[in-house]
Amino acid sequence: MSSRRGVGLGAFVNKNQASQSFATHGANLKSTHASSLQTQLSVFQSLLHTFALEHGETIKSNPTFRAEFARMCHAIGVDPLAASNIKGKGKRGLGEGGSFWTQILGGDVNDFYFEVAVRVVELCRETRAENGGLISVEACRKVVGAGKAIGGGLEVSEYAGSLEDDILRAVESLVPLGSGFKVVKVGSKTFIRSVPKELNTDQATVLEVIQLLGFVTVSMLQLNLQWEKARSKTVIDDLLADGLVWVDSQAEEAEYWSPQYLQDSG
Protein backbone atom coordinates (compact mmCIF):
# COMPACT_ATOMS: atom_id res chain seq x y z
CA MET A 1 0.00 0.00 0.00
CA SER A 2 1.30 3.46 -0.89
CA SER A 3 2.43 5.62 2.01
CA ARG A 4 1.98 8.88 0.07
CA ARG A 5 -0.02 11.43 2.00
CA GLY A 6 -1.55 14.82 1.43
CA VAL A 7 -3.17 13.89 -1.89
CA GLY A 8 -6.30 15.63 -3.12
CA LEU A 9 -8.32 18.08 -1.02
CA GLY A 10 -6.22 17.37 2.07
CA ALA A 11 -3.06 18.52 0.26
CA PHE A 12 -4.78 21.73 -0.83
CA VAL A 13 -5.89 22.46 2.75
CA ASN A 14 -2.40 21.76 4.12
CA LYS A 15 -0.80 24.01 1.50
CA ASN A 16 -3.25 26.81 2.28
CA GLN A 17 -2.56 26.51 6.00
CA ALA A 18 1.19 26.60 5.37
CA SER A 19 0.84 29.75 3.24
CA GLN A 20 -1.19 31.45 5.96
CA SER A 21 1.38 30.42 8.54
CA PHE A 22 4.25 31.86 6.48
CA ALA A 23 2.30 35.08 5.90
CA THR A 24 1.59 35.46 9.62
CA HIS A 25 5.21 34.75 10.49
CA GLY A 26 6.39 37.29 7.90
CA ALA A 27 4.04 39.94 9.26
CA ASN A 28 5.28 39.29 12.79
CA LEU A 29 8.92 39.62 11.68
CA LYS A 30 8.14 42.86 9.84
CA SER A 31 6.35 44.28 12.88
CA THR A 32 9.20 43.27 15.20
CA HIS A 33 11.78 44.79 12.84
CA ALA A 34 9.84 48.06 12.58
CA SER A 35 9.45 48.21 16.35
CA SER A 36 13.19 47.60 16.78
CA LEU A 37 14.06 50.39 14.33
CA GLN A 38 11.66 52.76 16.07
CA THR A 39 13.28 51.95 19.41
CA GLN A 40 16.75 52.59 17.97
CA LEU A 41 15.58 55.91 16.52
CA SER A 42 14.14 56.95 19.87
CA VAL A 43 17.45 56.09 21.53
CA PHE A 44 19.38 58.14 18.95
CA GLN A 45 17.05 61.10 19.45
CA SER A 46 17.45 60.85 23.20
CA LEU A 47 21.25 60.76 22.85
CA LEU A 48 21.08 63.74 20.51
CA HIS A 49 19.04 65.60 23.12
CA THR A 50 21.66 64.83 25.77
CA PHE A 51 24.48 65.82 23.41
CA ALA A 52 22.79 69.16 22.68
CA LEU A 53 22.37 69.90 26.38
CA GLU A 54 26.03 69.11 27.10
CA HIS A 55 27.45 71.04 24.14
CA GLY A 56 24.88 73.80 23.79
CA GLU A 57 27.33 76.67 24.20
CA THR A 58 29.69 75.23 21.58
CA ILE A 59 26.81 74.72 19.14
CA LYS A 60 25.77 78.33 19.60
CA SER A 61 29.24 79.85 19.35
CA ASN A 62 30.95 77.67 16.72
CA PRO A 63 29.34 77.72 13.23
CA THR A 64 31.34 74.67 12.09
CA PHE A 65 30.23 72.64 15.09
CA ARG A 66 26.66 73.88 14.58
CA ALA A 67 26.69 72.73 10.95
CA GLU A 68 27.86 69.25 11.95
CA PHE A 69 25.20 69.08 14.64
CA ALA A 70 22.56 70.01 12.06
CA ARG A 71 23.79 67.20 9.80
CA MET A 72 23.47 64.73 12.67
CA CYS A 73 19.91 65.90 13.23
CA HIS A 74 19.08 65.48 9.55
CA ALA A 75 20.57 61.98 9.47
CA ILE A 76 18.06 60.70 12.04
CA GLY A 77 15.10 62.72 10.83
CA VAL A 78 15.14 65.58 13.33
CA ASP A 79 14.60 69.03 11.82
CA PRO A 80 16.27 71.50 14.19
CA LEU A 81 14.23 74.39 12.78
CA ALA A 82 10.88 72.61 13.12
CA ALA A 83 8.80 71.73 16.18
CA SER A 84 10.12 68.77 18.16
CA ASN A 85 8.20 65.94 19.73
CA ILE A 86 10.91 65.21 22.27
CA LYS A 87 9.51 65.66 25.76
CA GLY A 88 11.46 66.66 28.80
CA LYS A 89 11.41 68.61 32.02
CA GLY A 90 12.03 72.28 32.46
CA LYS A 91 10.21 75.55 32.70
CA ARG A 92 8.09 74.76 29.67
CA GLY A 93 8.85 71.12 28.93
CA LEU A 94 10.43 70.21 25.64
CA GLY A 95 7.97 69.87 22.83
CA GLU A 96 5.46 72.31 24.29
CA GLY A 97 6.30 75.07 21.83
CA GLY A 98 9.12 76.48 19.80
CA SER A 99 11.73 74.55 17.88
CA PHE A 100 14.18 71.88 18.94
CA TRP A 101 17.07 74.34 19.21
CA THR A 102 14.99 77.06 20.85
CA GLN A 103 13.88 74.66 23.59
CA ILE A 104 17.29 73.08 24.21
CA LEU A 105 19.68 75.96 23.53
CA GLY A 106 17.48 78.97 24.17
CA GLY A 107 16.52 81.54 21.56
CA ASP A 108 20.05 82.45 20.44
CA VAL A 109 20.38 79.90 17.64
CA ASN A 110 16.90 80.42 16.24
CA ASP A 111 17.46 84.18 16.48
CA PHE A 112 20.68 83.69 14.52
CA TYR A 113 18.88 81.87 11.69
CA PHE A 114 16.10 84.43 11.71
CA GLU A 115 18.69 87.19 11.39
CA VAL A 116 20.44 85.39 8.53
CA ALA A 117 17.11 84.87 6.75
CA VAL A 118 16.19 88.55 7.14
CA ARG A 119 19.55 89.65 5.72
CA VAL A 120 19.29 87.25 2.79
CA VAL A 121 15.77 88.46 1.96
CA GLU A 122 16.89 92.09 2.15
CA LEU A 123 19.94 91.43 -0.03
CA CYS A 124 17.89 89.57 -2.64
CA ARG A 125 15.40 92.43 -2.84
CA GLU A 126 18.14 95.05 -3.11
CA THR A 127 19.93 93.21 -5.93
CA ARG A 128 16.90 91.84 -7.81
CA ALA A 129 17.04 94.60 -10.43
CA GLU A 130 20.70 93.74 -11.07
CA ASN A 131 20.58 89.94 -11.16
CA GLY A 132 16.96 89.12 -11.96
CA GLY A 133 16.41 87.47 -8.60
CA LEU A 134 19.21 84.91 -8.92
CA ILE A 135 22.19 85.40 -6.59
CA SER A 136 24.94 82.90 -5.85
CA VAL A 137 25.28 81.61 -2.30
CA GLU A 138 28.96 82.59 -2.47
CA ALA A 139 28.12 86.22 -3.26
CA CYS A 140 25.42 86.19 -0.59
CA ARG A 141 27.91 84.90 1.98
CA LYS A 142 30.41 87.65 1.18
CA VAL A 143 27.83 90.40 1.57
CA VAL A 144 25.96 89.00 4.58
CA GLY A 145 29.19 88.05 6.37
CA ALA A 146 30.61 91.52 5.80
CA GLY A 147 27.48 93.12 7.19
CA LYS A 148 26.62 94.98 3.98
CA ALA A 149 22.99 94.01 4.34
CA ILE A 150 20.91 94.88 7.40
CA GLY A 151 22.93 95.69 10.52
CA GLY A 152 26.56 94.76 11.10
CA GLY A 153 28.51 91.69 10.05
CA LEU A 154 27.89 88.27 11.52
CA GLU A 155 31.55 88.06 12.51
CA VAL A 156 31.94 84.56 11.15
CA SER A 157 34.18 85.21 8.15
CA GLU A 158 36.62 82.58 9.41
CA TYR A 159 33.82 80.05 9.06
CA ALA A 160 33.04 80.83 5.41
CA GLY A 161 31.92 77.31 4.53
CA SER A 162 29.74 77.07 7.61
CA LEU A 163 28.15 80.45 6.93
CA GLU A 164 27.13 79.19 3.50
CA ASP A 165 25.58 76.19 5.23
CA ASP A 166 23.78 78.54 7.65
CA ILE A 167 22.50 80.62 4.71
CA LEU A 168 21.14 77.53 2.96
CA ARG A 169 19.34 76.41 6.12
CA ALA A 170 17.93 79.89 6.66
CA VAL A 171 16.58 79.96 3.09
CA GLU A 172 15.10 76.47 3.48
CA SER A 173 13.28 77.68 6.60
CA LEU A 174 11.50 80.27 4.41
CA VAL A 175 10.08 77.69 1.97
CA PRO A 176 7.05 76.67 4.12
CA LEU A 177 6.04 80.34 4.25
CA GLY A 178 5.49 80.39 0.49
CA SER A 179 8.06 83.17 0.21
CA GLY A 180 9.18 82.28 -3.31
CA PHE A 181 12.76 81.80 -2.12
CA LYS A 182 14.44 78.60 -3.26
CA VAL A 183 17.93 77.10 -3.51
CA VAL A 184 18.78 76.00 -7.06
CA LYS A 185 21.84 74.47 -8.73
CA VAL A 186 23.09 75.88 -12.02
CA GLY A 187 26.08 73.94 -13.25
CA SER A 188 28.55 73.64 -10.41
CA LYS A 189 27.27 76.64 -8.44
CA THR A 190 24.46 77.03 -5.94
CA PHE A 191 22.13 80.01 -6.19
CA ILE A 192 19.25 81.52 -4.25
CA ARG A 193 16.26 82.28 -6.45
CA SER A 194 14.00 84.97 -5.02
CA VAL A 195 11.41 85.12 -7.78
CA PRO A 196 8.64 82.49 -8.09
CA LYS A 197 9.74 81.33 -11.52
CA GLU A 198 11.50 78.11 -12.47
CA LEU A 199 14.46 78.10 -14.83
CA ASN A 200 13.76 75.86 -17.79
CA THR A 201 16.40 73.49 -19.13
CA ASP A 202 17.56 75.82 -21.90
CA GLN A 203 17.93 78.78 -19.54
CA ALA A 204 19.93 76.70 -17.05
CA THR A 205 22.16 75.47 -19.88
CA VAL A 206 22.91 79.01 -21.08
CA LEU A 207 23.72 80.20 -17.55
CA GLU A 208 26.04 77.22 -17.13
CA VAL A 209 27.82 78.11 -20.39
CA ILE A 210 28.28 81.67 -19.09
CA GLN A 211 29.86 80.22 -15.95
CA LEU A 212 32.43 78.46 -18.13
CA LEU A 213 33.07 81.06 -20.83
CA GLY A 214 32.11 84.33 -19.18
CA PHE A 215 29.54 85.29 -21.82
CA VAL A 216 27.57 83.84 -24.73
CA THR A 217 26.39 84.94 -28.15
CA VAL A 218 23.65 83.53 -30.33
CA SER A 219 26.22 82.10 -32.75
CA MET A 220 28.13 80.43 -29.88
CA LEU A 221 24.98 78.60 -28.82
CA GLN A 222 24.28 77.56 -32.40
CA LEU A 223 27.83 76.30 -32.91
CA ASN A 224 28.44 74.57 -29.59
CA LEU A 225 24.97 73.29 -28.71
CA GLN A 226 23.68 72.77 -32.25
CA TRP A 227 20.63 74.86 -31.49
CA GLU A 228 18.59 76.58 -34.16
CA LYS A 229 18.95 80.36 -34.26
CA ALA A 230 15.34 80.84 -33.17
CA ARG A 231 15.85 78.64 -30.11
CA SER A 232 19.08 80.42 -29.15
CA LYS A 233 17.54 83.86 -29.58
CA THR A 234 14.39 82.93 -27.65
CA VAL A 235 16.17 81.63 -24.56
CA ILE A 236 18.50 84.65 -24.47
CA ASP A 237 15.57 87.05 -24.88
CA ASP A 238 13.80 85.33 -21.97
CA LEU A 239 16.88 85.62 -19.75
CA LEU A 240 17.31 89.24 -20.80
CA ALA A 241 13.67 90.04 -19.99
CA ASP A 242 14.06 88.47 -16.54
CA GLY A 243 17.23 90.45 -15.86
CA LEU A 244 19.36 87.31 -15.60
CA VAL A 245 21.75 88.45 -18.34
CA TRP A 246 23.02 91.82 -19.54
CA VAL A 247 23.77 92.66 -23.16
CA ASP A 248 26.95 94.24 -24.52
CA SER A 249 26.08 95.68 -27.92
CA GLN A 250 29.51 97.19 -28.58
CA ALA A 251 31.03 93.94 -29.83
CA GLU A 252 30.71 92.78 -33.43
CA GLU A 253 27.98 90.40 -32.27
CA ALA A 254 25.89 91.11 -29.18
CA GLU A 255 27.40 89.43 -26.13
CA TYR A 256 25.30 88.38 -23.16
CA TRP A 257 26.87 88.41 -19.71
CA SER A 258 25.56 87.25 -16.36
CA PRO A 259 25.62 90.02 -13.75
CA GLN A 260 26.27 87.28 -11.21
CA TYR A 261 29.40 86.20 -13.13
CA LEU A 262 30.64 89.80 -13.22
CA GLN A 263 30.12 90.15 -9.46
CA ASP A 264 31.88 86.87 -8.65
CA SER A 265 34.86 87.62 -10.91
CA GLY A 266 35.14 91.27 -9.91
Mean pLDDT per 10-residue interval, the chain, length 266 residues: 52 64 71 74 75 75 73 68 42 46 57 80 85 86 67 45 79 77 84 82 89 90 91 91 89 87 60
Confirm whether pTM is higher than 0.75.
no
Domains of the chain: 199-266 (1.10.10.10)
pLDDT tens for each residue of 60-81: 677 677 777 777 776 766 655 5
pLDDT confidence of residue 148: 45
- Which one, of 165, 189, 183, 155, lies nearest residue 64 by Cα? 165
Q: Which residues pair with 56 in a beta bridge?
A: none
Sequence letter at residue 98: G
CA dihedral 8, 13, 17, 20 (to 10 degrees): 100
185, 192 contact by CB (below 8 A): no
Q: Which of 243, 266, 245, 241 is nearest to 255 (CA)?
A: 245
